Structure 1
Amino acid sequence: MKGSIRVSAKTLDDAITEALIQLGVTSDRLEYEVIEKGSAGFLGIGAKQAVIEAWRKEEKKEEILKEAEPVVEEKPEKKEEKAEERKPEKEKPARYDKKKKEKKDSAKPAKEKAEKKSPETEEEVPEKEKQVLAKVEDQTIQAVEQFIKDTLKAMDMEVEITTSIDEDGALCVDMKGEHMGILIGKRGQTLDSLQYLANRVANKHQDGYVRVKLDTENYRERREETLNHLAKNIAHKVKRNRRPVILEPMNPYERRIIHSALQSDPYVTTHSEGEEPYRKVVVTLKR
């Protein structure tokens, strides 16, 4: 089979998971043939690894728009070892102001509660997204619709536009037409760029902050489902290999999806590293 890989592991499930990660696909798009089922042997003697031949399922025309999962890479062990060797900070002198300490202690539970409430760090939430959204005015909707129509017309694309206001007060624009894969771009980069420009146009036409969300072919929901599936596959690999895994650079919205997907996992934790637009999510084993 063209493009196939051969994977071996202790169990058949481990071999399938490894194939999913190497090929960068979700389980519904993986096909494989069992070469060797593997066996545990007797008291570890004569144990055989499971071996499979795996390949990507051929895409149908209507599935071409579906995006591939992000590439992942294992984080070098040396960095993890340095973190373990890091010495604890020296304790501060015993002299302190009793009133200040009581005030600090009373504020501490509230702070911890706030931190647990959100799966992502403050840096994952852009300042504008923290603002209270203004009511979207009719002139703003018309300006955004006209901007999108003019832009797509310049791209020789005929698209039907539908606008609505979601429960958060954001202006949602759904686009329908042919060749929407061009509009989405690689992992949604073209759609994200057009959304950024639409937000700039909207916020020039009224006071207060307005958020615009663009979507087509239900791409946003499908992308979120793909990222949730990826997060669980990566968590499984981290638990098995006990080594951190770094995902490819993502925008703040996609990083929050990964953080949320693994927030309740008792064995792994997530954080982000790097600067925009190359900021990445790192999945590590909890100590």
Structure 2
Amino acid sequence: MKQMTATGTTVEEAVQSALEQLQTSRDQVNVDVIDEGKKGFLGFGSKPAIVKVSILKDPVQDAELFIAEVAEKMGAPVETKTEVHNRDISIDLAGEKIALLIGKRGQTLNSLQYLVQLVVNRESDQFYTVLLDAEGYRDRRKETLETLAERLAEKAVRTGKAVKLEPMPSYERKIIHTALQDHHKVKTDSNGNDPKRHVVIEPR
């Protein structure tokens, strides 16, 4: 976090001095007053005001800049559209070479999402959840997983044996669990440790 300590004859003067040196505005910073100073009498006994001014982090800006840099280095420049709901940040990516950023079964997109979440939260006082999508990929993947869940549930019932799925991130495992939560003939569970944690579908 970029910050500096500044002095002035008053707190406001000290803050203004810091803003000019940081080249930012009052609404973009957090101000801690270290010493309010003292005017003194006829110039004697005066003390300067001391403040510490810190530039506030913008999690959305951090996320978008990081994505732009990574995409550029991968040779797949993208445009981003961001929506923020409380502490949930949803970012949709679009570009001519978007498939490069999605990767096989969304693995590249999932990895990028994980990195963006680290970047957003590294200096934040609040925890933000980041969800990356790429031209509707998440919805298509959800449909694929729901179809897969039904097909493998039928296999588990037919064979009478548990069926183990490939490792998936937590929100994809949740799609499988949700798709089969009302199924009367199978139950689901998650086994293993990340990044190899996976869903197991078992006949009841």
Unmatched segments (≥5 aa) in structure 1: 1-136
- Classify the secondary structure of the residue corresponding to 2:58: helix
Aligned length: 149
1:276 to 186, 194, 197: 194
Which whole-Å deviations, capped at 9, do the CAs of 1:214-262 have from their partners, x for residues lacking one? Answer: 1102111111111011111111112222221111111211111111111
Q: Which moved more, 1:153-162 or 1:193-202?
A: 153-162
Q: What's the counterpart of residue 153 of structure 2?
A: 235
Q: What's the counterpart of residue 245 of structure 1?
A: 163
Unmatched segments (≥5 aa) in structure 2: 1-55
Q: What's the counterpart of residue 95 of structure 2?
A: 177
TM-score w.r.t. the length of structure 1 is 0.49
Which whole-Å deviations, capped at 9, do the CAs of 1:50-99 have from their partners, x for residues lacking one? Answer: xxxxxxxxxxxxxxxxxxxxxxxxxxxxxxxxxxxxxxxxxxxxxxxxxx
* One-letter amino acid of the counterpart of residue 140, structure 1: P
* One-letter amino acid of the counterpart of residue 276, structure 1: D
| CA displacement at 1:206 relative to structure 2 | 2.4
Q: Which has the higher strand share?
A: 2
- Classify the secondary structure of the residue corresponding to 2:143: helix
Determine what percentage of the aligned residue pairs are the same residue.
Answer: 44
* One-letter amino acid of the counterpart of residue 195, structure 1: Q
Q: What's the counterpart of residue 203 of structure 1?
A: 121
| CA displacement at 1:138 relative to structure 2 | 7.3
Aligned counterparts, 1:255-270, within 5 A: 255-270=173-188
Aligned counterparts, 1:19-58, within 5 A: none
- Aligned structure 1 segments of 4 or more residues deviating by more than 4 angstroms: none
- Classify the secondary structure of the residue corresponding to 1:283: strand
Q: What's the counterpart of residue 47 of structure 2?
A: none
Q: Contact 1:140–1:205 (CA<8 Å) still a contact in 2?
A: no
Q: Which moved more, 1:202-211 or 1:178-187?
A: 202-211
Q: What's the counterpart of residue 74 of structure 2?
A: 155
Which structure has more relative contact order (CA 8 Å, sep 6+)? It is: 1
Q: What's the counterpart of residue 77 of structure 1?
A: none
Separation in 2, partners of 1:171, 1:151: 18
Separation in 1, partners of 2:114, 2:195: 14
Separation in 1, partners of 2:151, 2:58: 46
Q: Contact 2:186–2:201 (CA<8 Å) still a contact in 1?
A: yes
Separation in 2, partners of 1:253, 1:228: 13
Q: What's the counterpart of residue 30 of structure 1?
A: none
